[in-house]
């Protein structure tokens, strides 16, 4: 499949792009927001498409045209305010879902946040972030797309273990970004993840086994 990674310049995005580039199963394009992000992807031999999540649905649809799958791993980042979170994590996600439907892309993987589906478990300090994730996820579920929603716990910049725990509801825990990227990669064609959502943290079960069995 040809996969477009939205948010490719982020930490999870860069790891995922590399996994896709090295695979025999898929090809990859990195969706970037501005031209100065292109140099990195050129250096590793990955094609880029230019689109801004604060732009129009038509612009995003044009950028992803021809793709067979989308991974949305974009985010406004912790240094921005609630306004940017709503514009990127919510409206940007919704516009990408609309663009995927418009462009005829069927497969859509969303990177969300642990317990985003349960309001009573949201972190009060970043409640606006959970609101954005919650409603973007709900919009995706109600779309025509073949979705998977991955809700990882606290993200670590550590080497992945390749072993995870997934379920509809999990207690708060952490997981390396490398393992999140590996879960996304494995989910692309894993039918047991189609039209399903799950919390994700580090655990004791190999990734592909966990995805097949949950």
Give the catalytic positions in this structure. 129
CB proximity list for 156: less than 8 A, separation 6 or greater: 174, 175, 176, 177
CB proximity list for 153: less than 8 A, separation 6 or greater: 114, 170, 172, 173, 174, 175, 199, 200, 201, 202
11 class by beta-carbon count within 10 Å (0-12 exposed, 13-18 middle, 19+ buried) = middle
Cα separation, 58 vs 208, in Å, equals: 36
CB proximity list for 84: less than 8 A, separation 6 or greater: 76, 77
Cα separation, 212 vs 207, in Å, equals: 9
**Which parts of 51-195 are beta strand (E)?**
69-72, 107-111, 146-152, 154-156, 163-167, 174-176
Handedness of CA 200, 203, 207, 208 (dihedral sign): negative
């Amino acid at each position: 499949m040809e996969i477009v990674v939205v948010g490719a310049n982020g930490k999870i995005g860069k790891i995922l792009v590399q996994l896709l580039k090295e695979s025999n199963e898929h090809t990859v394009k990195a969706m970037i927001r501005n031209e100065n992000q292109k140099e990195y992807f050129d250096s590793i031999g990955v094609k880029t498409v230019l689109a801004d999540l604060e732009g129009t649905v038509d612009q995003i649809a044009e950028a992803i045209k021809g793709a067979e799958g989308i991974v949305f791993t974009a985010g406004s980042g912790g240094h921005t305010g609630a306004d940017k979170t709503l514009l990127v994590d919510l409206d940007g996600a919704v516009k990408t879902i609309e663009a995927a439907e418009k462009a005829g892309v069927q497969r859509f993987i969303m990177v969300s946040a642990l317990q985003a589906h349960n309001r009573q478990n949201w972190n009060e300090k970043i409640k606006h972030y959970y609101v954005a994730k919650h409603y973007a996820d709900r919009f995706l579920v109600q779309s025509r797309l073949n979705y998977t929603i991955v809700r990882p716990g606290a993200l670590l910049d550590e080497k992945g273990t390749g072993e995870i725990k997934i379920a509809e509801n999990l207690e708060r825990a952490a997981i390396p970004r490398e393992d999140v990227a590996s879960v996304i990669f494995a989910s692309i064609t894993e039918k047991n993840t189609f039209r399903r959502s799950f919390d994700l943290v580090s655990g004791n079960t190999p990734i592909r086994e966990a995805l097949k069995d949950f």
